[in-house]
Structure 1
Amino acid sequence: FTSVEELIEAIEGHRSHEASDRLVRRAKRRLAEIDEMDAPEAVVKEGGNSGLRADRYERFAAVDALLREAIEIWPDNRRAIDTLRSTQLEFARTATAQGDLDLALVLYESAGKSDSEAAARVRKKRDRRERVRESQAKYSTLFTHSPDAGLLIRWSDGVVMEANTACLDMLGYEKEEVVGEKMTSLSIWACPMAREKFIDQLAREGQIDNFETQFVPKETSLQQPVCDDKAVDLSKVSGLIDVLISSRTVQLGGEEMLLSTVRDISARKTAEHDLEHSRRRLRDLQRLAGLGSWSFTLKSQAIHWSDEAYRLTGREVHRGAPDYNELIASVHPDDREKLQMAIERSVTQGTSYQLKFRYRDDQGKYRKLFTRGNPVFDADDNVIEIYGILQHVAAGGG
């Protein structure tokens, strides 16, 4: 790649798609293992269906986590989205067969099938249950075996009723230090204002998804609250955990509870910070080297220029990049045909290009420029974009 910034973007996109697809493949292998568990010989080996229940739920939860991570990495991964939906429906059927009806309904809702006939049958069956204790147990399996940290909090007074192993490990607490305590006494929020914002939104909507904040583990001590609105670089505050919180209010045993899952995204935030730092350095290097970058997307006919491209062409940034016709019209009449031919060959034949041409700046003067680049292909080997670098040709450069 001749454009450093586009190379970074291409690598990032390729890696994220590749990583997302790897997670989907892992999830599908786990699903195949679940199918093998249902074979008669597997049941006999494990001593009957009851011995397989907990393990099957653990495997479903692991598959769910893999697919959600794949979608988080690449939100448009249709294979991951469809597999997650089918997995949720299969898990819902398994949960129904095991008598975990509340869990089944949650899964049908997650899969967008809460109004289906299957979900209606489950809902009717659940409503016939007489004992509250049975309904309370429906969330326990998914909660305790979830690979994500989980908290069950009584809404009326903020007392923690349950914390799973993943949550305790993340925060560094023992179970007896958390369960039975009020959330406010644990002081796990780095920013109290963020906690208030979280509670306000939850009170209004009854649920919240992917609320981003920072938690303070037990071994970390803060001298003062750390909030985004203060002039503090959170990446330099040692020990904080970047998290995403998703919560729902649910009725358990006649009481309103807050069921929360917490995902540690510290590694991702660190990577994003490092990547942005690298991008800034690369943009500076590009500027120092006198290189601009540009691209032309065939479907939208959109042209994109880097900041350095505006400087090299003498075009004001506020005008935006020219469209194709304006670009050609701004090229010296003697150079237009060869530029058009280079672009056409790159599009129709998939070849790289390089040429010198003169470009009229905003003062009407022609600047000598040099460009070279390559086409971008889709999965069917069709050219969908061409891109390249732009460089000033020094006087006497031929």
Structure 2
Amino acid sequence: MSKLLQWKWHIVTTFGCFVLFWIGDALIDALSFGGESFLHELLSVEPRELYMRTLTSLLLALFFLFLEVFSERRRNTESLLRHSDQLASTFFETTGDAVCIIDTATLTIASANAIFCQRYAISEKEMVGQSLADLVAARRLPREMQSQVEETVAGGSPLTREISHEVEGGNRQYEEMLTHPIGGGQSVLQVTRDITMRRNAEALLRESEARYRAIFDNTGTAMAIIRPDGTLHMVNRGFEAVTGFGRKELEGIKRWTEFMAGGNGALLPDGLTGREGEARQNLELQILDRFGNVKVMAGNWAVMAGTEHAVLSLVDISAQKTVEQALRESQASLAVAQQIAGLGSWEWEVTTNTLTWSDELYHLFGVDSATFVPSYEWFLDVIHPDDREMVIRAINDALYNKKPFRTDYRLLLPNGALRTHSTWADVTYDRDGNPLRLIGLNQDITWRTEAEQALRISEEKFSKAFRASPDSIVITRAQDGMYIDVNEAFEKITGYRREEVLGKTSLELQLWVDPDARMVMLRLMNQFGHVRNLEVRFRVKSGEIRELLWSADVIEYRGEACLIAISRDVTEQRHLEKELLESEARLFMKHEELKNLFHQMEAIRLEWEETMDCISDMFILTDKWGKVRRFNRAVETFTGLAHRDIVGRDWLPLLEEFGLKPHLESPGVELAHPQSGKRFVLNRYAFPTADIDGSTREVIIITDTTAIRLRQSQPPLRLAGKVHHPH
């Protein structure tokens, strides 16, 4: 009943008593004196009688009101005491702490709860009434409990201490003992609380903080945590190395924008802060260190969840910029060299089936580079049907059997032309031996194959049309090598007239510059019966040395064995081929330089992936189609999948498969993950690649916040209506 209703009830009761006493007094007067009737005494009284009756009735009514209020308060007090005793008894029996009450006069245990008996392996009968000193002497209770109780009795104030001791298995158990005087100092309440889990959690937290601090300090990236006003809150060793300042000179003193060169500070938001959940920003900046040196840095920043601070990371890309400039110059030189030599380079990414051509290769295939997109399938389609299987076999041998890829094949181009190409290619592999890419060169050798075909045809025809042949043709006796006949082309090439040659040998005319070449020709003739396209050097009549393609067959001429030799002057052609070989060598050197550069870039990428594998947060990099392209080891550990089972998958279904769909729907919000029993925060960041292909990729970061959650969720301790916080 509320206080208002209680007072209303008291007023009604008081008024009722007043009326009752008024009527009772009138009735007593009527019965006692008998002179007048009850109604006359009640309604017609003298003023003095009326005054005395009213005062008496009022005093009696107030007296009964006082008795009623006093009785009600006593009942309430008894009820509260019973309730308090019930609560104390309930707490005493149901609390998870070991509790006992000690009589301060005799230092004996007055009572103990079941947890106290269970913890110290003593029954309640053995404990109640026993001296605390006897139980300690019998090693049933810890000595620290006795000393703390004695100090509380002596000082009359509560005490809290922490003790530890070894338990079974070699582990250490931590306990918090609290002693508090109660009952006016007649008793002491002793509470023992097991805080082992809390101490272990604190140790794990300190270890985690030390580990993350070590990662923050020793990562190869320059990192800093920025306050809302732009002041450096915390920096690592990498940031010290980049700026040239020590940590004491930076933290809480300098603003990070003081190191910006060339007005790059306008590229960032005010103070490098923003709203929580904003996408990570990637920037390219110029940093000015304390010595005046300008360094080109690739940086990114993001707001730290749950704080007003932002984290900034910087990577020195000065050397990379130099390499990129050298690469652009090298690519320009390579394009010119390819155009001069008639060579085209290409690169085929096996994992993504992406084919990249140089400008000259578009010209060799007769397609427009502005509209045509090369592909491996299109390349196979334009290969001559008779050569297609041979080319596919050579490519597969290079990819999976690690054989050199060197082959010639014919092409049926879209414009109807039939061309012959020669291809050289090398294959690069990953650490597991899987092929990554083919890098090769194409050269149009149609002119060479056509020349060889024409030469074979001409040999057959010239053997029948000796005189009309434009090539030098001679007939000599097999027995002694004497010239029997020569054609006009021989006269033109050598400068000798026919009359000067007939009846003589090549040795007499000293035509052979290299005698060893003549011996090779004779050995080939004896072994095979003919010689084809033997490159020889002849000294002509003027003394000039000419390079010839020399072919010979054994024939019967005028009834005797003779040799018919056909030679073509290829001096100019060999000069051109020599120049071409030199150009190919220079191109090959350029190719090797590019390959070394690619290896360096691959090493940088591998080093970054190894760094990311050391971080416990899960990192996933996707391409513009939403396929998983890169990820760190934490993702493999979380999913339990191998690398090959993750790369190339759609990242959204992958994370939904492992129970992270709520996290995807609420990025930046800490949510529980029932499967693992942990709590994660998922963030997505755009990763534009304008310098590469103009696409926008995405970085997904999943942070395990379980340890932080445990630290923040420690509840306050309550006892007897007061809140006691652990020291």
TM-score, normalized by length of structure 2? 0.28
Select the structure of larger CA radius of gyration. Answer: 2
Higher helix share: 1
Higher strand share: 2
